[in-house]
Structure 1
Amino acid sequence: MTSPASVRTAFASLLRDGVDVLTSGYLAGQEIGHETAADSGVPYLHAATSGAMERMVRDDHARFSRIFQVCASDTEYAPRFVSFMTSLRDRGRWDHTADRLAIVVRDWHGVDFGIDRARAVAERENWTLDVVPVGGAPGGDGWAGAVATAVRAPTAAVMIGSFFVDDAVAAVTALHELGSTALPYAIYAPSVPAFRHRLGPLAEGVVWATTTGTYSDGAGRAFARRYTDRFGVVPGRSHAGLAYDRMQRIARAWNSCGDVTDADGIAAHLRTEPYRGVNGTYNFDTPGQAALGTPDHGDPSLAQPQLLYQIQDGRQVIIRGGPFRTGGFRMPATVPGRPGGR
């Protein structure tokens, strides 16, 4: 939903129909969903990935006690980008000579990628970090211009600060057209199969992060098979599994409470009972009732690690994610010194 008016209309329609629970993905004007759900008293599970929405619940828990964020917040994305590049450099896995990183980002209401913290990490780790804003419509020429600005000097990697496929495709395309050797580092968007379909071979080597990704373990593979058998397409690596887990979590709460209209009982069960799904463990026992991330807990069996994937030979390989890792980082061919590199 791309406008506050559409959020109000959709929530009002659902509540008129007497739903017992509300769910959503990303919304424009996410706070409208929070306020409407709180007014209704209906439990609400959303996937806004928003530190602002997490704080909204934390700061007025009495009002928003039935609202849960089913993934960790966005505030770790930029610091993890810098930390990942530092790890590659320090372990001798990164042959690029540039000591500069860039983040290209659209100014979104309610979105905080943790850029201020990333600046501090970059300074500590001897990187120069530039942040370049993007103007214009999603996926438009604004991305080409911003990417060109970002790589005007030798740059080791560019973080693409957008959740939308159109934006990520535009940014990666611009990097290739400019002949840049910077590593493309995206957020969430490459989880959607359309990203690889649209870019074809240009998607090779792209690294991307998500606070909630479908694991490649037995449960994750079984879910992907069932999804493909049912719908005839391969699921993405984030929100398909997330939506499945969310409904399984709700069903378990209903079954435990025995009354789907017991909003307080449902909320209490969600808050106190961790659940292991295909996207990891959902633990809402946090001040803002957002799914616990591994940095907050340290135990991946009780939290969700931020996963890093790399597209290798057209496949999604988990290169960071604790015990859920399925492969290692592969230097893209466009990096100097590699076959086909510039």
Structure 2
Amino acid sequence: MLKLIRRFVSASALTLAMTAASAQEPIVIGVPAVQSGPVGVADHTDWTNGITLAVEEINAAGGVLGRPLEIRLLDLDMMSPEGNVAGFTSLIEGGAHAIASAFTIIPAPAMEAAAPSGIPYVHGNTSSVNVDLFQSDPERFRNIFQLDVGEVWYGTGYVRFLQDLVASGQWEPKNNKVHIVQGQISYTQLISQATQAAIAETNGEWEVGAITDIQFPVQDWSPVIRALQETDAAAIMIDHWVAAELAAFAQQYAFDPVPDSLVYLQYGPSQPEFLDLAQGAGEGMVWGTVYGVYADERGMEFREKYMARYPGTMGMVYTGGGYDAAYILAAAWEAAGDPDDFDAVGDAIRNIEYRGVNGFYRIDPETNSGISYPNMTDDPEAGQAHLFFQVQDNEHRIIAPEPFVEVPFVAPPWW
């Protein structure tokens, strides 16, 4: 009997020791991020920095379930399907408990690679392709969550912004024409199509003045600027997202602008290099994001922390996105109680309500993605605001929508 008791005590001690050891093992967040190449580096660096800042804070507060968080960074080749599959497969097989990605240019291969394991995969792809793929097989892609919304809302929200700016009395357009300069990738094409559809729904309040095609990489903006001058539209939409090329446009446009036209640059100025490369030429230009860092108390506190940790020009989108993603995963792991139970963690994310620095997160069960204000909800605290910024004094300042306005719109220098 004594031997049996000793054997039982030894076994119990071993179990407790193993449990204690397991409790100290890190919970791993796999972060596939582009480290080099023509596109994506700035956004992916912003995302990685944001996650790193959040993980440092979470670990300083004791971690999750008594365990520290660990970031496993992987250099992602996102320009090819094979590169996406290889990167995601490596993280999954390496024991990641979740994957957190800024975006992939080709979303489907990454989703297909993640789906069989059921691993929680959160991202900011801003892509209708993700929504379509999820809806094609909701069970298979159940644990893959787009934290923001599809790119089509950029087009819808842009036309709403024009209407609201006129209604506010801040802008009296010289005509009702919109000139769209569109890139040729799916992302920009879908934005252009959504913009055209929203313009058509205004019943003549706005009309498409012209559409000009561009092809990445844009070496010379002179032909585009000549086309803009010929159309002389009140509103100019440069539907392109590469910051360095938008900075080149801004520099060329500053020397030969279209008088009294409102210039909107699609998303790209959010990346730090835009202000750095434009060197003041972006002054007065407007840009937007469906997934950006607010300028409210929570957002400004984050900005200050981020700038202290990463001095220099700050990105206005994926810095906050990565930061929020880490806290969303931490909350889901706490709720599930076991990071290895992928479906329990997925259920926790699916039912989460979280107010982050990029707005309010709630997953739409029809799309497994976020909700946009004011595009999809009238409640400013029920989604992520479609923010419009204007470059003022070489800084990005929020000019729409209410109640998140930081400063009023000002006349650009070429007016």
TM-score of the superposition, structure 2-length normalised? 0.75
Instruction: Flag the 1:210–1:59 CA change in 2: closer, same or farther, 3 A.
Output: same
Match of 1:228 among 307, 316, 320: 307
Within 2, Cα distance between the matches of 1:210 and 1:281?
15
What amino acid is aligned across from residue 249 of structure 1 in structure 2? I
Within 2, Cα distance between the matches of 1:151 and 1:38?
49
* 1:39-188 equivalences in 2 (<5 Å): 39-109=116-186, 112-113=190-191, 114-121=194-201, 123-135=203-215, 137-141=216-220, 143-181=221-259, 182-188=261-267
Deviations 1:279-336 (A, max 9, x none): 111111331111111232221212112011111112222111222111111111211x
Look up the match of 1:246. 325
Instruction: Flag the 1:298–1:58 CA change in 2: closer, same or farther, 3 A.
Output: farther
How far has the Cα of 1:50 moved from its partner? 0.8
Within 2, Cα distance between the matches of 1:231 and 1:90?
39
Look up the match of 1:274. 353
Match of 2:334 among 234, 255, 261: 255
Instruction: Flag the 1:263–1:148 CA change in 2: closer, same or farther, 3 A.
Output: farther
SS in 1 for 2:334: helix
Match of 1:297 among 377, 381, 401: 377
* Number of matched pairs: 333
Within 2, Cα distance between the matches of 1:170 and 1:121?
33
How far has the Cα of 1:55 moved from its partner? 2.2
- Contact 2:159 2:195 (8 Å CA) reproduced: no
Structure with higher Rg: it is 2
- Contact 1:172 1:184 (8 Å CA) reproduced: no
SS in 2 for 1:52: helix
SS in 2 for 1:296: coil
Match of 2:413 among 330, 333, 340: 333
Within 1, Cα distance between the matches of 2:228 and 2:157?
19
**Greater Cα shift, 157-166 or 171-180:** 171-180
- Contact 2:362 2:371 (8 Å CA) reproduced: yes
Within 2, Cα distance between the matches of 1:203 and 1:49?
24
- Contact 1:139 1:166 (8 Å CA) reproduced: no
Instruction: Flag the 1:286–1:162 CA change in 2: closer, same or farther, 3 A.
Output: farther
Instruction: Flag the 1:228–1:89 CA change in 2: closer, same or farther, 3 A.
Output: closer
Within 2, Cα distance between the matches of 1:126 and 1:116?
10
**Greater Cα shift, 219-228 or 259-268:** 219-228
What amino acid is aligned across from residue 126 of structure 2 in structure 1? T
How far has the Cα of 1:139 moved from its partner? 4.0
Within 2, Cα distance between the matches of 1:110 and 1:42?
26
Look up the match of 1:208. 287
Look up the match of 1:35. 112
Deviations 1:10-55 (A, max 9, x none): 1122122121111212322111111111122111111110122112
Within 1, Cα distance between the matches of 2:85 and 2:105?
10
Within 2, Cα distance between the matches of 1:9 and 1:148?
44
The alignment status of 1:310 with 2:310, answered yes or no, reads no
- Contact 2:196 2:208 (8 Å CA) reproduced: no
Look up the match of 1:14. 91
Look up the match of 1:340. none
Structure 1's consecutive aligned runs of 4 or more residues displaced over 6 angstroms after TM superposition are: none
What amino acid is aligned across from residue 170 of structure 1 in structure 2? A
SS in 2 for 1:169: helix
Instruction: Flag the 1:176–1:169 CA change in 2: closer, same or farther, 3 A.
Output: same
How far has the Cα of 1:264 moved from its partner? 0.8
How far has the Cα of 1:96 moved from its partner? 4.3
How far has the Cα of 1:219 moved from its partner? 1.3
What amino acid is aligned across from residue 161 of structure 1 in structure 2? D
Unaligned runs of 5+ in 1: 336-342
What amino acid is aligned across from residue 175 of structure 1 in structure 2? Y
Look up the match of 2:80. 3
Unaligned runs of 5+ in 2: 1-77
The alignment status of 1:197 with 2:276, answered yes or no, reads yes
Match of 2:404 among 320, 324, 342: 324
SS in 2 for 1:118: helix
**Greater Cα shift, 173-182 or 279-288:** 173-182
Deviations 1:83-111 (A, max 9, x none): 32233334443244233211111111355
Instruction: Flag the 1:230–1:179 CA change in 2: closer, same or farther, 3 A.
Output: closer
Instruction: Flag the 1:82–1:130 CA change in 2: closer, same or farther, 3 A.
Output: farther
- Contact 1:204 1:332 (8 Å CA) reproduced: yes
